[in-house]
Structure 1
Amino acid sequence: MLLDLIVDNARIHTMDAARPQASRLGVLAGRVVGLDDELTGLSARQRFDAAGAAVVPGFNDVHCHTTWYGLTLAEIDLGGLRTIPEVYQRLRTGAENLGSGDWIFATGFNHHEFGGNYPDIAVLDQIAGGRPLYIRQTSGHSAIANTESLRRAGVFAPGFTDPEGGLVRRDEQGNPTGLLEETAQALIQDLVRPYSQADIRAALDRATRHYAAEGITSFSEAGIAGGWIGHSPAEVAAYQAARESGQLHARAQLMPAMDVLHPVAANADDGFGIGLDLGMRSGFGDDYLSIGPVKIFLDGALSGETAALTECYCSNPDKRGYLQGDADELKGRIIDAYRSGWALAVHAIGDAAIDLAIDAIGTARKRFGPPAVPSRIEHAAVVRPDQLPKLRDAEIAVTPQAAFFDAIGDGMMASLGEERSGWTYRAKSFIDGGVLMPGSSDRPCADGNALRGIQAFVDRKTRSGATFGAGSEKLSAYEALRAYTAVSGQATGFGDRKGTLVPGMLADFTVLENAPMDVATEDIAGIEVLGTAVGGEFTHGG
């Protein structure tokens, strides 16, 4: 038999308990067909000498925003700055390269890096010179707009009211400050959307080339087609076209936004509820491009203190955040989507929102049985001890992002206090409690590098050097690697064919200078990615 690829001289960590180590790996038709002695006497069209490097299953980021990230790579980057004057200068420099009628788009602003301060709208107006300007916050839950943007969005029109689930921040005189929270962001975004198919394909190409260089072979796009996280109602078509044109360099699972589901005129006997006109639902597609859970927002973010808590934030005795709609209506939509065949990816960060998510998902599961793809709570940040067994019993996966420890960890601890910080972005207690916890980043809201995410799960270090929350929540390097590989496969419904390197599994792997288990914790993020392969075909290195 002539194989497609044989990897020799490797330190292979299969992430399969029954066969954890190997030194050779064979690939045929995109699948692993043998290890070590099983390859004796076989040859291949291609040989790859790993020269003693570590080989692990490809990293799988189960919650990121790939189209958005790809778009930001072509925008003015405000990341890494530390003073507001630096922000102004970066905007001025970027604006000089744009035409007189062009929008000015910027990304990467994090108010925590500036002592909680925001750019002055008057200065933004001066920089823009009459053009609309729009800055996305790294959290994705707020943005900053100048006066011209707000004017075009109708904010100054008589009778304007804030959208449900969102807020246009105003000063003491009632004038907009430029800060838009939650759903209010769509006021501006709807002026430029939908993006063209060509723009989305180019964004996917940029983003997934970057993923390949980081060892990422699979990802879940956390919201497409609608809301403030979708970029076109035809976003699936853009993904299909990117795949066909060779611009999609990693496997993708797509989560439609709940906003795009609507009543479907199906036969009354079907009890269809809400969905998409073609009737597709979670699980539709193949190993490379598929439809995953439907994404719904219940609350906001900890960074802007809009996540819904049962007790108040430390900064304000009257502030608990808020749900993005009436609780009963949100629960009703969740159940309606579930009975129509949709698994659920419920954004819930505060413990009050998590209570609602557990109740809604648990109720739906009891009524209609298990989903085709696991249901999840996205972020699952502030999780009280009493909520842990409820998550396990309802078989709900959770996606906490360790990358937030560095970006906003110190600010979150100040907002929540010591006890609740110990409950926040848990890891070890999820694993020990039998709750499925895959690896994810929420890129570009946080650093999307998988190796940095693995290190953050292990050390839980904040920007100040403190340990975020409870030190008992730290993972071992092996547990963190397993989260980004085998567990991510399970949590996305691909556990029978993705996430481990044993015969029959997809040949998605990453070649590393060293495995995370073989270096000091502080060196994990700096491990060099030597190669990345999807289905045995190298997307990076090789």
Structure 2
Amino acid sequence: MQLDLLLTNARAQTLDGARPEARTIGVHQGRLVGFDEEVEGASAKETVDLEGAAVLPGFNDVHCHTTWFGLTLASVDVENLPGGLPEVYDRLAAAVAQTPEGEWVNGTGYSHRDYGDAYPDIEVLDRITDGRPLFVRQVSGHSAIVNTRALELAGVFEPGFEDPVGGQIVRDAAGRPTGLVEETAQALVQDLIRPYSVDTIVSALDLATDYYAKEGITSFGEAGIAAGWIGHSPIEITAYLRARAEGKLRARAQLMPAIDALHPVAANSADGFGIGLDLGMVTGFGDDTLSIGPVKIFMDGAMSGETAALTENYEGRDHAGYLQSDPEHLRRLTLDAYRSGWSLAVHAIGDLAVDEAIRNITEAIDTYGRRRIPNRIEHAGMVRDEHLPVLAEYGIAVTPQAAFFDAIGDGMLASIGPERAPMLYRGRSFVDAGVMLPGSSDRPCADGNVLRGIQAFVDRMTRGGRRSGPASECMTPEQAVRAYTEVAAAASGHGDVKGTLSTGKLADLVVLGASPMEVDPTVIRDIEVRATMMGGRFTHSKL
């Protein structure tokens, strides 16, 4: 048999205990078919000499927002500008000059922590935008900054207006909106912009996954589609299908519908189907390139905006954040989704939200049994010691984002104080307890570069030069690499087809200038990505 491809002179670390290393890799019909002596003497349509480069399984970011990230690449970037708020205003003014009258001005990446805890002045924004509506996403995604025109269009000034459940229009002491809208209240404005067209989403996926390929990413989990404030269109799956057909999807995608997209389906009563998507699609539907994953359920908000639900007040504050809805409603929603065949991906950051998420997920498992695709707690921002054995026993994965340490770590530590810091976005204690910890970034809420994420798991350093939590939470480089490869595949229910370089698995790999497991940990982020391969085809190459 003639192979499609032979990769020679590699220094592959397979992460497969049966063959930890390999020098030659054989690829045929998108799969890994053998290594070293197994392919010795085989001919191939193409042979690529890797000249001693390091090779690892392709990286898998299991929690990110790819369409949103693609859209940000075409929006006004106001993240951490050195000129402070004046530079924010200047950038927005420049965008306004290019925006036709009546059209939306869109920005992204704002974080009050970067600007001395200050937010833009709504009066200045109104003057700059000159009647155009404005929507600027906070970097966390859990709040946004808008101007008066946007609030008018959203009906905020209409008689009898009330904040939606799970969100609020922030007001000053006199009751005037400040321009900050939190959590579910964002949808009041977003729904004036959405749904995005399929063309727009396809273009965003094209931009985003081209970026992913340059960083060694071959798989990702899209954490919320089709509905809610994180969805872009009720036909978002159509956009993914078209992007794949047009060669604009350069990584494998597991799509997580937002719980708002699920609805009662009029199936035969004997089926007891419950809630889902039309045609009866549930978690697991799809193929190796595009599949439906767990359903995304929000328990609370974000630590950066202090909307995550804690059991005790934020440090120096008189509030403890809030749950997205009544706890019993969230419990019922979780059980209904699980009973209907959906694995669960429950967003829970504060320790109160984590308490509720664990209680609901374990009840669902005890009542209806295990799922092939594991249940997850997205972010798991504050987890107490007593929860570790429960998470391990029930096979619940957690997705703490190491990338947050640099971007918002100092602010988070200030928000919870030193006594609670050991609970914040834990790492090594999850691994030691046998809890699945797949790698993820929450991009564009944080830097999605995987090599930077690996280093962050290892050093946990904030932008201000502090370590987030105790040194005992630092993971080893190998543990961090496995988080983005082997564990990510298992937590997504795909451990049988990817995550290690093993015979029969998908030919998804990354070629690096050096191995993250062999260099000084302080320079992992600087390793060059020389090539990325998905299904035996290079999606990026500097070879």
TM-score category, normalised to shorter length: over 0.9
* TM-superposition CA deviations, 1:199-225 (whole Å, max 9, x none): 000000000000000000000000000
For 2:99 and 2:382, the matched residues in 1 are separated by 42
1:210-258 Cα offsets, whole Å, 9 max, x none, are: 0000000000000000000000000000000100011111000000000
> Where does residue 355 of structure 2 map in the other structure?
355
Deviation of 1:315 after TM superposition, in Å, equals 2.3
Residue 254 of structure 1 contacts residue 290 of structure 1 at CA under 8 Å; is this kept in 2?
yes
The DSSP-based 3-state class of the residue aligned with 1:47 is strand
Structure 2: which amino acid aligns with 1:305? E
Check conservation: 2:108, 2:136, Cα contact below 8 A. yes
The corresponding residue for 1:454 is 454
Corresponding residue for residue 489 of structure 1: 489
1:394-447 CA-partner distances (Å, limit 9, x unpaired): 210000000000111111111111221111101100000010000000000000
TM-score normalised by L of structure 1: 0.99
- Residues 512, 529 of structure 1: 8 Å contact kept: yes
Aligned counterparts of 1:233 and 1:36: Cα–Cα separation in 2: 48
Q: List aligned pairs for 1:303-452, cutoff 5 A.
A: 303-316=304-317, 318-452=318-452
Question: 5 Å matches for 1:75-474?
Answer: 75-82=75-82, 83-316=84-317, 318-474=318-474
| 2:28 equivalent in structure 1 | 28
Indicate the residue corresponding to 2:71 in structure 1.
71
C-alpha displacement at 1:52, in angstroms? 0.7
1:478-517 superposed Cα distances (whole Å, 9 cap, x missing partner): 1100000000000000001111001011110000000101
Whether the aligned pair in 2 keeps the contact of 1:219 and 1:250 (CA below 8 Å) is yes
CA RMSD of aligned residues (A): 0.8
Report SS of the residue matched to 1:377: strand
Q: Deviations over 1:452-500 (max 9, x none)?
A: 0000000100011111111100011111000000000000000011110
Aligned residues of 1:133 and 1:149 also touching (Cα < 8 A): yes
> Aligned partner of 1:123: which letter?
V
Distance 2:255 2:202 in 1: 15
Determine if contact 1:423/1:470 at 8 Å carries over to the other structure. Answer: no
Give aligned-pair identity as a percent: 61
Q: Give the Cα–Cα distance (whole angstroms) in 2 for the partners of residues 260 and 418 of structure 1.
A: 39
Following the alignment from structure 1 to structure 2, what is the Cα–Cα distance between the partners of residues 383 and 156? 40
- The aligned amino acid for 1:267 is N
SS in 2 for 1:119: coil
Distance (whole Å) between structure 2 residues aligned to residue 432 and residue 452 of structure 1: 22
| Structure 1 counterpart of 2:2, one-letter code | L
Note if contact 2:212-2:251 (Cα within 8 Å) is conserved in structure 1.
Answer: yes
CA distance in 2, matches of 1:185, 1:144: 9
Question: What secondary structure sits across from 1:370 in the alignment?
Answer: coil
Partner Cα distance (2:120, 2:60) in 1: 36
Secondary structure in structure 2 of the residue aligned to 1:517: coil
Paired letter, 2:133:
P
Distance, in Å, in 2 between the alignment partners of 1:80 and 1:518 is 33
Which letter maps to 1:62? V
Distance 1:393 1:510 in 2: 33
> In 2, distance between residues paired with 1:55 and 1:393?
33
The question of whether the paired residues in 1 share the 8 Å contact of 2:62 and 2:488 is answered with: yes
Q: Distance in 1 between matches of 2:201 and 2:260?
A: 20
Gapped regions of structure 2 (runs ≥ 5):
none
Offset at 1:190? 0.1
Q: Which amino acid in the other structure matches residue 65 of structure 2? A: H
- Contact kept, 8 Å, 1:282 with 1:372, in 2: the verdict is no
Give the structure-2-normalised TM-score: 0.99
1:112-160 Cα shifts (integer Å, max 9, x gaps): 0011100000111111011001100000000000000000000011110
The Cα of 1:5 is off from its aligned counterpart by 0.9
Amino acid at match of 2:215: E
**What is aligned with 1:480?**
480
Give the equivalent residue in structure 1 for 2:50: 50
Task: Find the aligned partners of 2:392 and 2:344 in 1 and give their Cα distance.
Answer: 16
Letter in 2 for 1:216: I
Which whole-Å CA distance do the structure 1 matches of 2:146 and 2:215 have between them? 33
CA-CA distance at 1:109 after TM superposition: 0.6
- Runs of 4+, deviation exceeding 6 Å: none
CA distance in structure 2 between the partners assigned to 1:410 and 1:166 by the alignment: 25
Q: More displaced, 86-95 or 135-144?
A: 86-95
CA contact (8 A) 2:60 2:485 kept: yes
CA contact (8 A) 1:133 1:146 kept: yes
Gaps of 5+ in 1: none
**212-221 or 77-86: bigger deviation:** 77-86
Amino acid at match of 2:223: A
Could you tell me whether the CA contact under 8 Å between 2:80 and 2:111 is conserved in 1? no
Q: Which amino acid letter does the alignment assign opposite residue 531 of structure 1? A: A
- Give the residue type in structure 2 aligned to 1:105: N
Kindly provide the amino acid, as one letter, of the partner of residue 213 in structure 1: K
Counterpart of 1:37 in structure 2 is: 37
Q: 1-side partners of 2:351 and 2:334: how far apart?
A: 18
Alpha-carbon distance, 1:18 to partner: 2.3
**2:239 match: secondary structure:** helix
Q: Which amino acid aligns with 2:42?
A: L
Figure out how many residues of one structure are paired with residues of the other and give that number. Answer: 541
Amino acid corresponding to residue 321 of structure 1 in structure 2: G
Q: Work out whether residues 122 and 147 of structure 2, in 8 Å CA contact, stay in contact via their aligned partners in 1.
A: yes
Q: In structure 1, the residue corresponding to 2:185 is in which secondary structure? A: helix
Q: Greater shift after overlay, 256-265 or 365-374?
A: 365-374
**Structure 1 residue 524 displacement after superposition:** 0.5
- Which is further off, 508-517 or 81-90? 81-90
